[in-house]
């Protein structure tokens, strides 16, 4: 930015604001969908808010509106800092944020109109797919050029994760959305299912996880003022993540007629996920060893560290869910919804919020507008997320076991109704936390210099 920049880190701040804003919208859609599951006549005659359109809107906004921009917001701050330089182009960065928000607005509008490709995580229409790929490539280009002009010769582990996450997601997004077939964005039959779940799982494996790991590797050593525990574990965690995570998508298809050897690969590698997960976690946790007081004292680090604990739970659970005997119970029901919420809200979402709250004060040079609000949000998100996990896991176990024993889907509905009611209540908690969070972020960014309120 040539002419007097209002902010020192305009791109990072733009992505942080993007994340905070879309977290509100995304969680509102989640709350709406949850409410429709307990009161199905709510959508009445409004096609635009029918559950089948609300759910993909919620999922896409959480993934691409809240979590990814939040993690990128932190990355746009720490990547130049780790490289001892400035971001290659703040102008391009801000432009990317604008394009990104345009894609999100278009996503909400098209999904509400029923323009969807009908494939989970790959719903968005072709033109929006193209914009998202361009946005990812612009982010990648900006980061690469920043790397090129770096003063610090050694690339820190966070930088590996950010670079790999952006370029690999560009590739898998193109593949998974079958972008060479604009009309449908799909293959035909069983190959479509295999490709879809390869892509779908890699949204977590090659986007959310690397970007979250990048933030954790930055925040935890900084907040604890400890050196990183092990370079070897960093290497092991990074490379094994890319090798192992990319194999496991077919564990979504264990009961579908796909080649058996592919299922075996998916199950074996799902168990092997213990390697990248524990390499990362041991590294982070040993770095934090003896310094939990520092982590507790910093709200950003507190979010991030909690995220790493949730990563442990969601990963171990995920490995077990890939075992066929376990999956006979957990498949097709709310157990999986609980699992997804531990992963995306508990792990990646918590770390995204932690990244925001850790970096925003450093971007603005002022403390957060309200540490209390951020702490309050922490507890709301934590209670909401753990609550989701409990009630949806119970509902899933009821469904899965009832089906295995011959009850019909219809007969089980009243058995899980009460859990849907509690879930909607917890959804209200999460949505409220997002509103508080956005208020806090906005006031932190635009507050007049001086002491916080």
Partner 1 sequence: MKMTPLAVVVGSVLILATIVFVVIILPYVHTSKTVPSEIFRERSDPEAAGRDLYIANGCVYCHSQSIRSIDWGLGAERIAQAGDYVADYPILLGSQRTGPDLSQAGGEHPDDWHWAHFANPRFTRPLSLMPTFAFLGEPRTEELIRYVQSLGFKDADHRMARQDYWKGKAIAAYEAGPDVNVQWLNENIPQGWRDVPNPYPTTEAGLARGHKIYQDFCIGCHGPVGDGMGPAQPWIYPPPLNFTILKNREISGGILYYQIMNGITGTAMPYFKRELESEKIWDVGNYVAVYFINQSDANAEPRGIDAAYEP
Of 326-345, binders to partner 1 (CB under 8 A) are 328, 331-333, 336-337
- Of 58 and 302, nearer to partner 1 (C-beta) is 58
SS (HEC) of the chain: CCCCCCCCCHHHHHHHHHHHHHHHHHHHHHHHHHHHHHCHHHHCCCHHHCHHHHHHHHHHHHHHHHHHHHHHHHHHHHHHHHHCCCCCCHHHHHHHHHHHHHHHHHHHHHHHCCCCCCCCCCCCCHHHHHHHHHHHHHHHHHHHHHHHCCCCCCCCHHHHHHHHHHHHHHHHHHHHCCCCCCCCCCCCCHHHHHHHHHHHHHHHHHHHHHHHHHHHHHHHHHHHCCCCCCHHHHHHHHHHHHHHHCCCHHHHHCCCCCCHHHHHHHHHHHHHCHHHHHHHHHHHHHHCCCCHHHHHHCHHHHHHHHHHHHHHHHHHHHHHHCCHHHHHHHCCCHHHHHHHHHHHHHHHHHHHHHHHHHHHHHHHCCCCCCHHHHHHHHHHHHHHHHHHHHHHHHHHHHHHHHHHCCCCHHHHHHHHHHHHHHHHHHHHHHHHHHHHHHHHHHHHHHCCCCCCC
Tell me which of 16, 26, 131, 186 binds partner 1, using CB under 8 A.
186
Contact 390, 335 (CB under 8 A): no
- Of 101 and 333, nearer to partner 1 (C-beta) is 333
Under the binding rule (CB under 8 A), the answer on residue 41 touching partner 1 is yes
Q: Under rule CB under 8 A, which residues in 267-326 are in contact with partner 1?
A: none
Tell me which of 262, 275, 326, 435 binds partner 1, using CB under 8 A.
262
Under the binding rule (CB under 8 A), the answer on residue 192 touching partner 1 is yes
Under the binding rule (CB under 8 A), the answer on residue 257 touching partner 1 is yes
Q: Return the range that interacts with partner 1 (CB under 8 A); candidates 4-12, 84-92, 171-179, 278-286.
A: 171-179
- Of 109 and 155, nearer to partner 1 (C-beta) is 155
Contact letters for partner 1, residues 414-443 (x by CB under 8 A): x-----------------------------
Under the binding rule (CB under 8 A), the answer on residue 52 touching partner 1 is yes
Q: Return the range that interacts with partner 1 (CB under 8 A); candidates 169-177, 343-351, 365-373, 443-451.
A: 169-177
Tell me which of 175, 390, 442, 447 binds partner 1, using CB under 8 A.
175
- Of 239 and 285, nearer to partner 1 (C-beta) is 239
Tell me which of 81, 247, 302, 339 binds partner 1, using CB under 8 A.
247
Under the binding rule (CB under 8 A), the answer on residue 204 touching partner 1 is no
Under the binding rule (CB under 8 A), the answer on residue 84 touching partner 1 is no
Q: Under rule CB under 8 A, which residues in 114-143 are in contact with partner 1?
A: 114-120
- Of 327 and 370, nearer to partner 1 (C-beta) is 327
Tell me which of 98, 105, 109, 190 binds partner 1, using CB under 8 A.
190
Q: Return the range that interacts with partner 1 (CB under 8 A); candidates 42-50, 95-103, 288-296, 424-432.
A: 42-50
- Of 2 and 41, nearer to partner 1 (C-beta) is 41
Tell me which of 7, 126, 141, 239 binds partner 1, using CB under 8 A.
239
């Amino acid at each position: 930015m040539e002419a007097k920049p209002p902010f020192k880190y305009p791109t990072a701040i733009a992505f942080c604001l993007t994340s905070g804003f879309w977290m509100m919208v995304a969680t509102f859609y989640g709350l709406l969908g949850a409410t429709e599951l307990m009161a199905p006549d709510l959508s009445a005659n409004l096609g635009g808010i029918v559950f089948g359109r609300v759910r993909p809107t919620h999922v896409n906004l959480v993934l691409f509106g809240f979590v990814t921009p939040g993690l990128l917001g932190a990355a746009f701050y720490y990547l130049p800092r780790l490289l001892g330089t400035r971001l290659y182009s703040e102008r391009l960065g801000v432009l990317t944020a604008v394009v990104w928000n345009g894609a999100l607005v278009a996503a909400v509008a098209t999904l509400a109109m029923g323009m969807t490709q009908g494939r989970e995580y790959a719903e968005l229409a072709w033109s929006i797919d193209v914009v998202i790929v361009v946005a990812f490539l612009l982010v990648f280009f900006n980061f690469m050029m920043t790397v090129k002009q770096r003063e610090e010769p050694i690339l820190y582990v966070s930088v590996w994760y950010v670079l790999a996450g952006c370029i690999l997601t560009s590739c898998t997004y193109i593949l998974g959305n079958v972008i060479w077939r604009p009309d449908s964005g799909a293959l035909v039959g069983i190959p479509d299912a295999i490709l879809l779940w390869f892509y779908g799982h890699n949204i977590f494996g090659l986007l959310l996880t690397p970007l979250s790991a990048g933030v954790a590797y930055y925040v935890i050593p900084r907040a604890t003022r400890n050196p990183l525990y092990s370079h070897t574990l960093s290497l092991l965690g990074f490379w094994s993540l890319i090798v192992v995570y990319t194999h496991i998508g077919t564990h979504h298809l264990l009961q579908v007629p796909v080649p058996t050897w592919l299922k075996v690969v998916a199950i074996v590698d799902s168990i092997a996920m213990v390697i990248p997960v524990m390499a990362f976690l041991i590294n982070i946790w040993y770095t934090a060893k003896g310094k939990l007081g520092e982590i507790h004292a910093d709200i950003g680090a507190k979010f991030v560290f909690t995220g790493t604990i949730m990563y442990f739970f969601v990963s171990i659970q995920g490995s077990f869910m890939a075992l066929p005997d376990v999956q006979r119970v957990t498949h097709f029901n709310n157990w999986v919804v609980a699992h997804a919420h531990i992963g995306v809200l508990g792990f990646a979402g918590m770390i995204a919020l932690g990244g925001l709250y850790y970096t925003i004060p450093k971007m603005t040079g002022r403390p957060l507008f309200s540490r209390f609000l951020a702490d309050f949000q922490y507890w709301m998100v934590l209670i909401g997320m753990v609550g989701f996990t409990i009630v949806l896991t119970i509902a899933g176990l009821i469904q899965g076991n009832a089906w295995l024993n011959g009850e019909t889907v219809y007969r089980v509905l009243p058995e899980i109704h009460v859990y849907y009611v509690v879930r909607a209540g917890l959804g209200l908690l999460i949505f409220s936390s997002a509103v508080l969070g956005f208020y806090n972020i906005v006031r932190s960014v635009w507050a007049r210099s001086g002491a916080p309120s």
